[in-house]
Structure 1
Amino acid sequence: MPNSLSLLDGLIIVVYFLLMVGVGVFFSKRNNSSAQFTTASGRIPGWALGLSFYATFLSAITFLGDPGKSFGSNWNPFVFSLSMPFAAYVSARFFVPFYREQKVVSAYSHLEERFGAWARTYAMLCFIMTQLARMGTIFYGVALMLNALTGYGMHWIILTLGCCIIVYTVMGGMEAVIWTEVVQAIIKTLGALLILGIVLSQVKFSTIVSTGWQEHKFSLGSFKPDFFQSSFWVVFLYGFFINLTNFGIDQNYIQRYHTARNIQDASRSIWLCVVYYLPVSMLFFFIGTALYVYYQQQPDLILELKQQVALEKGLDFNALQPADYGDKVLPFFIKTQIPTGFLGLLMAALLSAAMSTMSSGMNSSATVFLQDIYQRYFNPQASPEQQLRVLRTATIVMGCLGMAFGLGMIGVKSLLDAWWKMAGLFASGMLGLFLLGFLNKRVGEQAAKIAAILGLILIFWLSFRDYFPVQWQSPFDSKLTVVLGTLIIVGVGILAQSMFKVKNAKGS
């Protein structure tokens, strides 16, 4: 093993990989139908489903992005987590019963019933792009960590990791995904606690709190109603709408509602996810602040990382700011401060953070392809064998595309910022259409089309504001893309339907 990984650490990682592939082999014997592959035949207990959701949230983006942001700035992104209970209430109260009663695995088939085939196709494409963006971000995050620890090229890391995930996802289906996520949730939580314990063994808790408080590292952002920068309310609104997208319209989650034994278990799993994720999310932000204080006390220990970043980015070493290397701080700390054996366990935790999210993303994307494309347009009467073959092929294709996205992200400045921007871009349209159809049963296809077109224009303007002339740029913080995009689609759709109603009344 080059650089930091000892033989023992390397063996731990290899054993972890083999175990995950072994789980896929074990569950592959049960996959004799598309229902088993996509919903585990509805026999997953609520507690396991809750851990599965938690494992999906606790991805490599959390592992690296959260400490990176709190190290480089403050706790403003933590407000995203604080919005989760509000989105969970809406989803558990309204959305879970809606999907379970429909008994349709696809999250987007009802959009066709409401607005036509175009709405279903549009939402499905938005979902697939969101999944590819998520997988690409996570691939890049893991490659960033493993590159720092082993010296292996990021391209090879992404390709190797991707192939392993594809194998056990293709073989085991959704049941394998969920039960491996249960194990991965436990491993990831223990990994986070291990990191915190090692940090606290080198810097006092009271010192972290006092220094962080003095330098405003615990700030959640301005509480003023300011929507032109990343204030508390901007992140809260962003988090609420993104989490509403996750729990309410994301096939990745909707599909797993159908794996639960009943509606109560499916609804309970959402709340279990919130209960698990909130404190652990706080833990990762605290780790970032702790590392800031640790390296402030011992600046010589981080000189190597700063020199490396300055060289890579062509920046003046003396002008480097913590935000310039925030995402690389935790990998650097693990590389230089974690003892042999523990390093392998932490790497297994990080890999599990990546594998859980990507495997469920591949499976749900394959399900969407089968039901919303293949069976909708090509072969409605596909046999069980054909459906299973399409699911497995689509899983492989989605895995390869996810790897391509990851390769394309190499070099981004902030892992968390990159993911948030892409999530807002792709989530806005499908959430807006879903809420428009869900909240107002009178809105018809023509009104929905007008709303979607105007919404797309607004989303494009907000997302790519830096490419417009200064006088045409949006003044709003880019995180409001999902908020404003969703609201404009819902608002315009209802208004357009009212206008059609008035016009028809006059015509009659």
Structure 2
Amino acid sequence: MSLIDTVVLALYLVGTLAIGLYYARRNRRSKDMFAAGGKSPWWVSGLSGFMTLKSAGTFVVWGGLAYREGVVAIAINTCIGVSAILVGFFVAGRWRRTGVTTPAEFVELRFGPAAVQFYTWAMMGVRIVSTGVALYAVSVMLVALVPLEPGAWLRDPATGHLSLTFAVLLFGAIVVTYTVAGGLWAVLMTDVLQFIVLQLAVLFVIPLLWLRVHDGGATAVLPATFFSPLSDQYTLWFMAGWVGVHFFLVGAEWAFAQRYICVPSDIDAKKSAWLFGALYLVSPALWLTPPILFRMLRADADPEQAYILASQLVLPAGMLGLMMAAMFSATASAVSGQINVFAGVLTEQFYRRLFRPGASDTALVSAGRWFTLAIGAALTAVALLVPLMGGAEKIILTLTGLLFGPLMAPIIWGLLSGRIGLAAVAGSACTSFATGVWVKFGMSADGPFGSGAFAAWTQANPRMTDVLIGAVLPVVLLAIAHVMRRTDQPVWRDIEARVAAYAPTPLSPGESVDHAPARIVAISLAASGALTLALTAFNREGRVALAVFGCASLAIAFVAWRISSRNNSALVNK
């Protein structure tokens, strides 16, 4: 990575911190810090939810799969769009109508304090690991681009590149700092900026790789099924199960549920989920095309590094830094969203309830920032241990396939039906966990139950096995519990009363036409566009592409500024 790339990356990181500090002034109450005061625009919430699911781990895991197996990676990720659309129809509005501040508050109302304890620690453990993987992945990409001379202070003697430990600590510190300062508002607004920069950066890489392929650069032999949307492991049944797994994940995982809670109305919650879904129906075909094209050029690359190597191959000076910034952006979205939601849970459900029931809003915001710092430190530590845990791809696929369904399915069931209780929640989750451990370890090739026809099938079909345990089994167990209990749980009357009393968050005239989000987007994009145009001075090749990219950024910035100015004028005229 050249000096100009490093400068671009540094400027982007400074800008991200500036946004967090700007929004720190909005955090006067706990609800402001963890639910954006219930006043987030639906489009901001939808884009933030979309970015929360993406990280550098996305490019490492799914980019690696696209490099190895081709179009099937696009098909798998498109399933997530279907899941989010279904969430918009059946779940998102219901979350908003419950009137809670955090998903943990709903879990306590519905299933009791013991359930909050169970979900808080189980989900926090799972998400600290998964977001630690994301932080590790973006750090791996950075160090791959930064070779250092022998004797350099931050050089890793084993690789000759920048120290992975330093990269993890640097990125972790930046994400934690802006999340501590700005709360959910900072998370939402940096997610919007990161979405735009990431999509523009990916769109910049695709035509350059396409030209390289069609100019006679394609030499690699492709697998026979490279352009098929299905494969031996990723069958149509797997795709259906993947939709189910992500219906539970996007519909009930706390970082996503928080997006449906933080908007003014249930209609806004639905629209945010539909936007999320629409983006995931379209975007996988864009951001997984670069590793597919790169596979046509090289067949011997490390799949985990295929994305960044493809970018390095074709991007002009300065743009590689922007691509690295975009990947950091995606990771920051995932990490900051998880940190914020669990800091909110610890602040509301533990600090206030157990230690300071009469705590002031100032004290709660302060406690929330300390919890944010502690969670950020924990996931940074996990990121440093990822190589000892089997690597990024293995961890992500196992967590998603086996754990999220059993944890999240009871919450959605409890959101829509009054029959199941804490026993059904614990029973379905623990049974699914135990089954997953038994199959994964007990029935592995070298496990004590590794022989027999069923064990052989699970070993030959690991992805389908994950989906059966993670999506089908918990639904079957919950359905049995639902049928066995003929009447609703007593607490269901309270939930229904809250839903019946629901009213959209009242917005003042100024809040109803709040122009700050659009102006933040406009200013950030204008800076990105101006920076890109400036890069033309440092490149003899690729000047046209840089100019197009810069002008596109400036055009979007102009539109966003006009929208914000029109809203502001409407407010003044009133």
Q: Which bracket does the TM-score occupy, shorter chain normalised?
A: 0.7 to 0.9
Deviation sequence 1:75-130 (CA, Å, 0-9, x none): 33333323234322331122122211111122133333443333222222232123
Maintained 8 Å contact 2:245/2:471 = no
Maintained 8 Å contact 2:87/2:247 = yes
- TM-score, length-normalised on structure 1? 0.83
Q: How does 1:391-430 map to 2 (within 5 A)?
A: 391-410=368-387, 415-430=392-407
CA root-mean-square deviation: 2.9
User: How far apart are the structure 1 equivalents of 2:7 and 2:123?
Assistant: 37
Matched AA of 2:70: N
User: How far apart are the structure 2 equivalents of 1:82 and 1:492?
Assistant: 28
Q: Secondary structure at the match of 1:468?
A: coil
Deviation sequence 1:203-243 (CA, Å, 0-9, x none): 1299979975x732122224xxx8xx4323214412x2332
Q: Quick check: 1:354 aligned with 2:331?
A: yes
Residues 13 and 103 (structure 1), Cα distance of their counterparts in 2 relative to 1, 3 Å cut: same
User: How far apart are the structure 1 equivalents of 2:2 and 2:428?
Assistant: 57
Q: Quick check: 1:278 aligned with 2:281?
A: yes
Q: Quick check: 1:345 aligned with 2:322?
A: yes
Deviation sequence 1:361-411 (CA, Å, 0-9, x none): 111111122233333443333321221122101111111111112111137
Deviation sequence 1:424-473 (CA, Å, 0-9, x none): 34313322322443454223444444434423322322443437321384
User: How far apart are the structure 1 equivalents of 2:24 and 2:399?
Assistant: 34
Q: Quick check: 1:291 aligned with 2:270?
A: no
Residue 27 of structure 1: aligned partner: 23
Residue 251 of structure 1: aligned partner: 254
Matched AA of 1:468: G
Q: Quick check: 1:459 aligned with 2:436?
A: yes
Which of residues 200, 205, 211 is equivalent to 1:195?
A: 205
Residue 521 of structure 2: aligned partner: none
Residues 405 and 478 (structure 1), Cα distance of their counterparts in 2 relative to 1, 3 Å cut: farther
Across the two proteins, how many residue pairs are aligned to each other?
465
Residue 517 of structure 2: aligned partner: none
Residue 176 of structure 2: aligned partner: 166
Residue 7 of structure 1: aligned partner: 3
User: How far apart are the structure 2 equivalents of 1:443 and 1:46?
Assistant: 31
Which of residues 228, 232, 235 is equivalent to 1:231?
A: 235
* Structure 1 range deviating more: 347-356 or 69-78: 69-78
User: How far apart are the structure 2 equivalents of 1:404 and 1:490?
Assistant: 34
* Structure 1 position 16, deviation (Å): 0.8
Residue 43 of structure 2: aligned partner: 47
Maintained 8 Å contact 2:20/2:179 = yes
* Structure 1 position 156, deviation (Å): 0.9
* Structure 1 range deviating more: 442-451 or 86-95: 442-451
* Structure 1 position 497, deviation (Å): 6.4
Residue 108 of structure 1: aligned partner: 104
Q: How does 1:457-496 map to 2 (within 5 A)?
A: 457-464=434-441, 465-466=443-444, 468-469=447-448, 470-471=450-451, 473=455, 475-476=457-458, 477-479=461-463, 480-481=465-466, 483-496=468-481
Q: Secondary structure at the match of 1:145?
A: helix
Residue 262 of structure 1: aligned partner: 265
Residue 320 of structure 1: aligned partner: none
Residue 82 of structure 1: aligned partner: 78
Residue 214 of structure 2: aligned partner: 204
Matched AA of 1:251: W
What percentage of residue pairs aligned between the two structures are identical? 24
Q: Secondary structure at the match of 2:298?
A: helix
User: How far apart are the structure 1 equivalents of 2:51 and 2:120?
Assistant: 24
Maintained 8 Å contact 1:462/1:481 = no
Maintained 8 Å contact 2:81/2:281 = no
Matched AA of 1:255: Q
User: How far apart are the structure 1 equivalents of 2:375 and 2:197?
Assistant: 26
Residue 219 of structure 1: aligned partner: 228
User: How far apart are the structure 1 equivalents of 2:462 and 2:119?
Assistant: 21
Residues 274 and 210 (structure 1), Cα distance of their counterparts in 2 relative to 1, 3 Å cut: farther
* Structure 1 range deviating more: 353-362 or 156-165: 353-362
Matched AA of 2:7: L
Matched AA of 1:418: I
Maintained 8 Å contact 2:81/2:276 = no
- TM-score, length-normalised on structure 2? 0.74
* Structure 1 position 255, deviation (Å): 1.3
* Structure 1 position 38, deviation (Å): 1.0
Residue 185 of structure 1: aligned partner: 195
Maintained 8 Å contact 1:69/1:75 = no
Residues 262 and 156 (structure 1), Cα distance of their counterparts in 2 relative to 1, 3 Å cut: same
* Structure 1 position 331, deviation (Å): 2.4
Q: Secondary structure at the match of 1:203?
A: helix
Q: Quick check: 1:374 aligned with 2:351?
A: yes
Maintained 8 Å contact 1:429/1:456 = yes
* Structure 1 position 494, deviation (Å): 4.5
Which of residues 36, 54, 61 is equivalent to 1:58?
A: 54
Q: Secondary structure at the match of 1:194?
A: helix
Q: Secondary structure at the match of 1:29?
A: helix
Q: Which runs of 5+ in 2 are unaligned?
A: 147-160, 488-574
Residues 326 and 177 (structure 1), Cα distance of their counterparts in 2 relative to 1, 3 Å cut: same
User: How far apart are the structure 1 equivalents of 2:84 and 2:58?
Assistant: 19
Residue 506 of structure 1: aligned partner: none
User: How far apart are the structure 2 equivalents of 1:444 and 1:287?
Assistant: 47
Maintained 8 Å contact 2:201/2:323 = yes
Residue 522 of structure 2: aligned partner: none
Residues 6 and 205 (structure 1), Cα distance of their counterparts in 2 relative to 1, 3 Å cut: closer
Q: Secondary structure at the match of 2:229?
A: coil
Which of residues 69, 74, 80 is equivalent to 1:73?
A: 69
Residue 311 of structure 2: aligned partner: 334
More relative contact order, 1 or 2 (CA 8 Å, 6+ apart): 1
